[in-house]
């Protein structure tokens, strides 16, 4: 069952070849058997899962079930889930039981899907390797000495090991796409505002976006249909009807104009990764796509701009965690200031503290204009680069990450080198564009991801290109041997 696509699982459930309870127990058993090797789950919600599976079986029996009804999935532990610990990978929220469901959780529950548990992540989504989690590093199923990427590394590792059929993630600077690339998966970061952020614990509000992590484009399209939609509780939610993201998967890509940014194939790219991407590009050419060299001249400014804007927003968002209302509280504070200082000092990890300090500095009197305002101005230039590019091409293609997965501990003491892991993904979030990563091959037995970037609200086009590529390749079907 763990090798089947969502459509295959849906068919088996609707044909009553297997019940949702049986399918759910199957994946719960795989989690119990394998997750000690990976540390991909923070919480396994066995009772909730079996309860939801029983309800799904009733719908399936009555003939009222939708396409996704009864299929298990895993949620990144950044989405509030009523009655379940929602930790954001932090000691600060280790004791927090969410009193309500995030909109994404609510929509997926209403589709009849079954929640297996909450997956591990970099603390408050701050990281590119899943090493900043209070619950320890997640290991990559392809090589347990390697990182799975971050911050959605728990979802990616669980999915790559086939501990769940599909999972949710969030992407602030590449946190769906980069772990998808490093774990050999398909990850979609939607247009900003397409998926509600209500109940998704905030890191950087103008950048955060939820999306699916899947084995293939078709599965991602199915879950995207369940996740997307206007939400009046989210002031940044786009008020537009939900598309059928599977409708154009089988369209021909003949004549598709593919842009290859010169900046994405420069000295910073591992030559072996570059060779894999070159082979993938040739497959799209065979399908009728045409290649066009383009320029995104402000690409080299994306990382420094991101690391002003994101920490500034995180400094503001994380000020709510003060030990007073909920979350971690220090023992025996002598006064209010001591409560604030020690609760935050003991509750946050080093990477979160680093970003709060950077953000507070960038927003402080005398530095706001020099740093934060200037970063927002350059952000506009980056958006203009993409706007100009999409006047020439339909999609933009490049590597998702400059290297394959690096070893655990290799970059954890070098924040700048770690930050550069997201050099090809960050600009997309700054511009609010949709993008996805799909498996394209391997270098030294570690997966390589290819990134596709689309114009605003062009998720269907990206999914179409990815699906057509996956019709002629089988990288997305590969399973790490120990978990096969």
What pLDDT digit, counting tens, does each position of 88-146 carry? 999 999 999 999 999 999 999 999 999 999 999 999 999 999 999 999 999 999 999 99
Two tokens at 419? 């930050």
For residue 267, the model assigns a pLDDT of 83
**Of residues 175, 343, 401, 437, which has the active-site annotation?**
175
Name the band, by pLDDT with cuts 50, 70 and 90, for residue 421: confident
For residue 412, the model assigns a pLDDT of 84
**Of residues 151, 315, 401, 460, which has the active-site annotation?**
151
Whether 148 has a pLDDT exceeding 90, the answer reads yes
132-141, 275-284, 365-374, 414-423: range with lowest mean pLDDT: 414-423
**Could you tell me what percent of the chain has a pLDDT over 90?**
96
pLDDT tens by residue, 172-189: 999 999 999 999 999 999
Whether 415 has a pLDDT exceeding 90, the answer reads no
Domains of the chain in sequence order: 6-255+394-483 (3.90.1300.10)
For residue 393, the model assigns a pLDDT of 98
* Closest to 133 measured CA to CA, from 110, 109, 157: 157
Active site residue 151: yes
Helix (H, G, I), strand (E, B), or coil: what is residue 438? strand
Sheet with 186-189, side-by-side order of all strands: 41-44, 114-119, 72-76, 167-170, 210-214, 186-189, 435-443, 446-454, 395-399, 257-261, 290-294
Whether 150 has a pLDDT exceeding 90, the answer reads yes
For residue 365, the model assigns a pLDDT of 86
Please state the φ and ψ torsions of residue 340, each to the nearest 5 degrees. Answer: -60, -50
pTM: 0.96
Neighbouring CB atoms inside 10 A of 471's CB total 14
Contact predicate 217/463, CB 8 Å: yes
Q: What is the DSSP string of 188-202?
A: EEPPTTSB--TTB--
> Distance between CA 174 and CA 462 in Å, rounded?
16
pLDDT tens by residue, 206-259: 999 999 999 999 999 999 999 999 999 999 999 999 999 999 999 999 999 999
The mean per-residue pLDDT over the stretch 266-285 comes to 95
Active site residue 76: yes
> Distance between CA 24 and CA 10 in Å, rounded?
13
For residue 251, the model assigns a pLDDT of 97
pLDDT tens by residue, 311-365: 999 999 999 999 999 999 999 999 999 999 999 999 999 999 999 999 999 999 8
For residue 23, the model assigns a pLDDT of 98
Contact predicate 279/416, CB 8 Å: no
Contact predicate 139/146, CB 8 Å: yes
pLDDT tens by residue, 28-72: 999 999 999 999 999 999 999 999 999 999 999 999 999 999 999
For residue 419, the model assigns a pLDDT of 85
Active site residue 206: no
**Of residues 10, 19, 76, 152, which has the active-site annotation?**
76
Name the band, by pLDDT with cuts 50, 70 and 90, for residue 414: confident
> Helix 302-317 crosses helix 374-389 at what angle (to 10 degrees)?
130
């Amino acid at each position: 069952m763990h090798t089947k696509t969502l459509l295959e699982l849906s068919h088996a459930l609707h044909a009553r070849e297997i019940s949702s309870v049986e399918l759910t127990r199957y994946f719960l058993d795989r989690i119990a058997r394998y997750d000690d090797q990976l540390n991909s789950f923070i919480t396994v919600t066995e009772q909730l899962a079996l309860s939801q599976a029983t309800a799904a079986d009733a719908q399936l029996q009555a003939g009222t079930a939708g396409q996704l009804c009864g299929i298990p999935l895993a949620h990144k532990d950044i989405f509030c889930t009523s009655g379940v610990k929602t930790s954001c990978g932090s000691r600060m929220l280790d004791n927090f039981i969410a009193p309500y469901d995030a909109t994404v959780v609510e929509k997926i529950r209403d589709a009849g899907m079954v929640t297996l548990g909450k997956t591990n992540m970099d603390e408050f989504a701050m990281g590119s390797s899943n090493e900043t989690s209070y619950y320890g590093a997640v290991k990559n199923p392809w090589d347990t000495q390697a990182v799975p990427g971050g911050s959605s590394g728990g979802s990616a590792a669980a999915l790559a090991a086939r501990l769940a059929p599909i999972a949710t993630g969030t992407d602030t600077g590449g946190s769906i796409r980069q772990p998808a690339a490093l774990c050999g998966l398909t990850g979609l970061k939607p247009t900003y505002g397409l998926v509600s952020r209500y109940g998704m614990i905030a890191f950087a509000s103008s950048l955060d976006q939820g999306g699916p992590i899947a084995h293939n484009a078709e599965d991602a399209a199915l879950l995207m249909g369940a996740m997307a939609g206007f939400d009046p509780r989210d002031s940044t939610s786009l008020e537009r009807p939900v598309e059928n993201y599977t409708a154009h998967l089988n369209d021909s890509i003949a004549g598709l104009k593919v842009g290859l940014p010169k900046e994405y194939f420069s000295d910073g790219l591992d030559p072996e990764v570059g060779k894999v991407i070159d082979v993938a590009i040739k497959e799209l050419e065979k399908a009728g796509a045409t290649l066009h060299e383009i320029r995104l001249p402000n690409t080299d400014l994306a990382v420094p701009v991101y690391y002003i804007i994101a920490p500034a927003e995180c400094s503001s968002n994380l000020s709510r965690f003060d030990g007073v209302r909920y979350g971690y509280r220090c023992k025996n504070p002598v006064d209010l200031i001591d409560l604030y200082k020690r609760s935050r000092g003991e509750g946050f990890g080093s990477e979160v503290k680093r970003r709060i300090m950077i953000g507070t500095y960038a927003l402080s009197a005398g530095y706001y204009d020099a740093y934060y305002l200037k970063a927002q101005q350059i952000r506009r230039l980056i958006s203009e680069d993409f706007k100009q590019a999409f006047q020439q091409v339909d999609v933009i293609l490049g590597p998702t990450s400059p290297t394959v997965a690096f070893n655990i501990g290799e970059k954890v003491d070098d924040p700048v080198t770690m930050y550069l892991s997201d050099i090809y993904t960050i600009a997309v979030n700054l511009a609010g564009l949709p993008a996805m990563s799909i498996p394209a091959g391997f270098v030294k037995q570690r997966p390589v991801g290819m990134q596709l970037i689309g114009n605003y609200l062009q998720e269907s086009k990206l999914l179409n290109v990815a699906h057509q590529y996956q019709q002629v390749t089988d990288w997305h079907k590969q399973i790490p041997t120990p978990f096969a």
